[in-house]
Amino acid sequence: MSAHSTTAASAAPPGTSGAAGAPSGGRHLGLALFVIAAAQLMVVLDATITNIALPSMQTDLGVSDANLAWIVNSYALAFGGLLLLGGRAGDLYGRRRVFRAGIAVFTLASLLGGLAPNEELLIGARILQGVGAALAAPSALALITTTFPVGKARNTAMGVYAAMGGVGATVGLLMGGVLTDVLDWRWVFFVNIPIGLAVLAGTRYLVEAERDSGRLDVPGAITGTGGLISLVYGITRGGEHGWTNGLTLVSFTAALALLTAFLVLQARTAHPMMPLRLFRDRNRWGSYATMLFIGSGMFATFYFLTLYMQLILGYSPVRTGFAYLPFSFGMAAAAGISSKLVARYAPRLIAGPGLVVAAAGMLWFATLEPGSSYAGHLMPAMFVTALGLGMGFVPMTLGAVSGVAHEDTGIASALLNTAQQIGGALGLAVLSTLSTTAANDKLPEAASALYRGLASQDFALVARAGEAVTHGYTVAFAAAACMFLAGLAVTAFAVNAGRQESGEDAAPVHMG
C-alpha cells in the first residue's frame, strides 16, 4: 500500500550507519531485513487480498451491494487518512516503538476481521487494520536507514523493501484466491496473525533513531480523516438513497465543514500534518493530483474486474487470482522501462502517454459483455492498462520529491502515497455508485436478482441480471478512463519539470 519515506540523513547524522547499537553481524542484519520486508508485504498485500474474497464475504455475511465497497474503502481511508500522522508519531515517539504498535494493532484487527460475524464488525476490523498500517508503514522505511549501514547493506535493504511494494498486490491476489478456495474467506485475515507475531518477535533486531521535537497534529488528523469519511459516505449514500436525502446532505455538509477546518488548521498550526508549503510548487501539486486520479481508476479496476470474473464468468477465487498475472507483468515491465526513461525525458513525456494507454485499456474493459473471453478480451486489456499505469508511477513519484527541501522529503513522499489511497477510496465510492445506478436502470436490484437467480438455478433471470450488472461494470470502466484522462490533463498543465538526473530520492509507490 503506501509508504512514508525518510531519508538516511534525516534518520541519522551524515556519515554514520545509524543509531548507536546497530546490529553488526550479517545474521542480525538479515533478520532485520526479514522483519521489515515481512511487515511491508503484509501491509501492502492486505489492500488486494480481500478483493478476491469479496463475493464470498458478501454471500456468507449478507453484505449489501452498497456496503461491499466499504470493505475496501474503510481500509484505504483509515490508511491514507492517518498515514501522515503515523509518520509524525514515529518521528516523535520512536520509530521502532510506533512500528511495533502498528503491527500489534494490525495483527489484532486481522484476528477480529477473521472472526467477524457480520458486515459491521468486518468493516470495523478493516478500519482498525488501516490504523495499524498507517502506524507501521511510515516507520518501516525509516528503520532501514537506522538499522543498515550506508553502502551495499542499505542499498540491498532498500531494494528488497521496494520489491515488497511491487509484488505485494500480486501476492495478495494469488494468496486471496488460494486461501478462499482451499480454506475459507476468513483466512485472508487469519494469515496475517502468524506473520504479525513473527514480525513483533523480530523487532528487537531493529535499531531506534533519535526522536524529533514537536507534537502531533491530532486536530488535523481528526478533521482531515473525518472530512474524507463524510465525503465518501455521502457519495455512497447518495447513489443508494438519492442526492436530496437528508443524511446524504448532512454528510456533504459535514465533509465541507471538516475539510475547510482541516485546511485552516494546516495553515495556522506550528506543526501541521500536511504542510501547505509543499503545494506551492506546481510540479509537486500536479504529481499529487495526478496520483489521486490514478488511484481513483486503479482501485476500481481491481474491484469491478474481480466481481465480473467471479459473478459473471463464474471463475473460482483462485482462478481469479491467477487471471490477474498479466496486470502484474505489465505493471512491472512498464515501471522498469519508465525508471530508465526519466533520465532522458521530462516526466510528463512519460506519464502523459502512459495515461493515454491506461485510458485506452479501461475503454477496452468498457466493451465487456457477459460472454467475453479471457484470452481475447480480458487478458490484453489488463496488460494494456497495466502498461499505461506503470509508465505513470515513476515520473509522478519523482515529481513529488524533486526539488523539495531536505527536511520535507519524507512528508512529500508520504503525501503522494496518501493521494493514491484517498483517490482510490473516493474513486471507488463514485464508480460503485455509477455502476449500481446503471445496472438498476436496466433491471431493478440487478445484483440481488443475479444472486437470486444463481441460488434458484433460474438461468433466464441469471442471463437478464448478468447483462444488467455487466452494463453497470462497463459504465464504471468508462468513468475510470475519464479519471485517467483527467490525470493526463493535470500532468499536461502542471507538471513542467525537465528530465531527472537521478531517481534515488524517490520513495516507492505501491500498487493496490
pLDDT 10s digits, 2-32 = 433 333 333 333 333 344 344 445 557 777 7
| 147-194 pLDDT tens trace | 776 666 666 666 666 666 656 666 777 778 888 888 888 998 998 899
Sign of the CA dihedral running 134, 331, 422, 300? negative
pLDDT one digit per residue (tens) for the chain, 512 residues: 343 333 333 333 333 334 434 444 555 777 777 777 778 777 777 777 887 888 888 888 888 776 787 888 788 778 877 877 887 777 778 778 888 899 999 999 999 999 989 888 999 999 999 889 888 877 776 677 667 766 666 666 666 666 666 566 667 777 788 888 888 889 989 988 998 888 888 777 776 666 666 677 788 878 887 888 788 778 777 766 777 888 888 988 998 999 899 889 888 887 777 778 778 877 778 888 888 898 888 878 888 998 899 888 888 888 888 888 888 788 778 877 777 777 787 777 888 888 999 999 999 999 988 888 898 899 999 899 988 888 877 777 666 666 666 556 667 667 777 787 788 878 888 888 888 888 888 888 787 788 788 777 788 888 888 899 999 999 999 999 999 999 888 888 877 666 555 444 444 444 44
* Core vs surface per residue 253-270: b (16+ CB within 10 A) or e: ebbeebbebbeebbeeee
pLDDT value, residue 129:
92
Query: What is the rounded CA–CA span in Å between residue 199 and residue 197?
Result: 5
Grid cell digits, residue 315: 471463475
Are the beta carbons of 303 and 70 closer than 8 angstroms? no
Beta strand residue intervals within 14-157, DSSP E: none
CA dihedral 247→249→253→255, nearest 10 degrees, is: 70
pLDDT value, residue 109:
94
Q: What's the pTM? A: 0.76
* Core vs surface per residue 467-476: b (16+ CB within 10 A) or e: bbbbbbbbbb
Are the beta carbons of 81 and 59 closer than 8 angstroms? no
Query: What is the rounded CA–CA span in Å between residue 99 and residue 3?
Result: 13
Are the beta carbons of 176 and 190 closer than 8 angstroms? no
What ranges in 148-191 are assigned the alpha helix state H? 152-182, 187-190
Grid cell digits, residue 329: 507483468
Are the beta carbons of 368 and 377 closer than 8 angstroms? yes
Sign of the CA dihedral running 71, 368, 1, 359? negative
Are the beta carbons of 130 and 110 closer than 8 angstroms? no
Q: Which residue has the cell 483466512?
A: 187
Query: What is the rounded CA–CA span in Å between residue 81 and residue 85?
Result: 8
DSSP letters, 82-107, are HHHHHHHHHHHH-HHHHHHHHHHHHH
From the number of C-beta atoms within 10 Å of its C-beta (0-12, 13-18, 19+), residue 97 rates as middle
